[in-house]
């Protein structure tokens, strides 16, 4: 039967809804899909048959019967393919291989010292190859790679600026697709972390959340109505550069001074404690604090207080359900949490504070890598729904 343009569009919409329903409610029977979507059973059966052909849906054992024959249940075939997510930190690079539902199959983590674009690309491609080699056999193989970058990224995957790397106008998506031979998505790392926590982590039930990537610098990702809020040009979330010290503020790499990240990040922590060769990174400061070093513990507590000063403004501005503190400073939770909460208590408006939950990332250091992988998976599924996949 030849379908008209409108019919083709409607069929594609329905086919897409069938897959979304299976992903959200599996195991589910054809009859339950038809009840949920208000589509007739013959339509649902024919759309399910297409997804079965495309290997993104599986039939499994029999479900509970409401009287007659027990129905065959349908599952999302999360092992039909895999994705690689990469988190480019300022001083580390971490990558994960996940199945199509975000379950981690393998991960790699390395220190990053040389941030020159060519050197970083080489490391990313090396990790993508190493992880791809660990992917189990599947119909689609590795469907794409997502990369979270500590900088401002445009819609074409060009990193316009990454101050902590010294990058300007680096066409990372094109470079990576060329070198790795896979579709790539490039996203700001805080946005990727926000997506990771919202899809797979502590933010799963929150419809409005702000994720704070507190690492060497600070970035934020805004989830509004369960979706990433990108802003008019895709550049939202640079709250690390909100001014918290207007007079005699510390100069920041962005060109301004007194920015939040100059007071509440790993960079700020090390700056406070410098010069001291034993305090070269967060881990060494934590070790000293654990051993009773008062200067290290005080510095961590002060970072917590400054984090709280920014969180108070975030609560007042966005009235989110949840603020999620993630990335490296979440490792210092034992030292930063209480001063953070005290500062929030003192500085945010009572009505804004009352219902807001302040949490730490539940995916640990994987938030951005898993979020980046999920963006690659979303791109793959969108193409499959549009009928662009074999
Ligand atoms: Zn700044």
CATH value at residue 166: 3.30.420.40
Residues 51 and 101 in one domain: no
Residue range 284-300, pLDDT digits in tens: 999 999 999 999 999 99
CA of 57 to the centre of ligand 1 (A): 47
Residues 180 and 244 in one domain: no
CA of 1 to the centre of ligand 1 (A): 60
Residue 199 forms part of a structural domain: no
Q: What is the structure's pLDDT at 274?
A: 79
CA of 73 to the centre of ligand 1 (A): 53
Residues 150 and 257 in one domain: no
CA of 253 to the centre of ligand 1 (A): 6
CA of 254 to the centre of ligand 1 (A): 4
Residues 208 and 354 in one domain: yes
For the four alpha carbons of 93, 96, 102 and 104, in that order, the dihedral sign comes to: negative
Is residue 390 pLDDT above 60, yes or no? no
Tally of domains within the chain: 3
Phi (first) and psi of residue 62, to 5 degrees: -85, 140
Using 50, 70 and 90 to split pLDDT, how confident is the model at 171? very high
For residue 58, what is the domain's CATH number? Answer: 1.10.10.10
Q: What is the structure's pLDDT at 42?
A: 96
CA of 208 to the centre of ligand 1 (A): 25
**Residue in 140, 158, 142, 161 with CA at minimum distance from that of residue 150:** 161
Using 50, 70 and 90 to split pLDDT, how confident is the model at 210? very high
**Residue in 131, 157, 126 with CA at minimum distance from that of residue 143:** 131
**Residue in 380, 26, 382 with CA at minimum distance from that of residue 183:** 380
CA of 78 to the centre of ligand 1 (A): 41
CA of 260 to the centre of ligand 1 (A): 7
CA of 185 to the centre of ligand 1 (A): 26
Domain that holds residue 244: 204-362
CA of 151 to the centre of ligand 1 (A): 12
């Amino acid at each position: 039967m030849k379908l008209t343009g409108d019919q083709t569009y409607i069929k594609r919409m329905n086919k897409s809804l069938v897959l979304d329903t299976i992903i959200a409610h599996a195991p589910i029977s054809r009859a339950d899909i038809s009840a949920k979507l208000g589509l007739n059973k013959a339509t649902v059966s024919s759309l399910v048959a297409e997804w079965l052909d495309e290997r993104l849906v599986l039939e499994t054992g029999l479900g509970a019967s409401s009287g007659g024959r027990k129905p065959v249940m349908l599952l999302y075939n999360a092992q039909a393919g895999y994705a690689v997510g990469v988190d480019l930190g300022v001083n580390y690079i971490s990558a994960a291989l996940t199945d199509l539902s975000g379950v981690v199959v393998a991960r790699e983590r390395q220190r990053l010292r040389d941030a020159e674009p060519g050197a970083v690309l080489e490391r990313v491609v090396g990790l993508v190859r190493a992880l791809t080699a660990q992917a189990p056999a599947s119909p689609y193989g590795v469907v794409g790679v997502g990369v979270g970058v500590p900088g401002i990224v445009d819609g074409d995957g060009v990193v316009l600026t990454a101050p902590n790397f010294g990058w300007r106008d680096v066409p990372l998506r094109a470079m990576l697709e060329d070198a790795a031979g896979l579709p790539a998505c490039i996203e700001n790392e805080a946005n990727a972390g926000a997506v990771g926590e919202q899809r797979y982590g502590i933010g799963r039930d929150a419809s409005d959340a702000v994720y704070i990537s507190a690492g060497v610098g600070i970035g934020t990702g805004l989830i509004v109505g369960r979706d990433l809020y990108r802003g008019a040009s895709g550049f939202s979330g640079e709250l690390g550069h909100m001014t918290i010290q207007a007079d005699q503020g510390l100069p920041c790499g962005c060109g301004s001074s007194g920015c939040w990240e100059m007071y509440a990040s790993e960079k700020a922590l090390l700056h406070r404690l410098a010069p001291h060769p034993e305090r070269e990174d967060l881990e060494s400061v934590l070790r000293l604090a654990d051993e009773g070093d008062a200067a290290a513990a005080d510095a961590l507590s002060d970072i917590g207080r400054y984090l709280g000063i920014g969180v108070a403004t975030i609560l007042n501005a966005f009235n989110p359900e949840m603020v999620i503190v993630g990335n490296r400073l979440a490792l210092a939770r034992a030292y930063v949490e209480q001063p953070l909460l005290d500062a929030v208590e003192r500085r945010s408006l009572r009505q804004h504070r009352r219902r807001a939950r302040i949490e730490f990332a539940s995916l640990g250091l994987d938030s951005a890598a898993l979020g980046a992988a999920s963006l690659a998976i979303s791109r793959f599924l969108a193409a499959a729904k549009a009928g662009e996949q074999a």
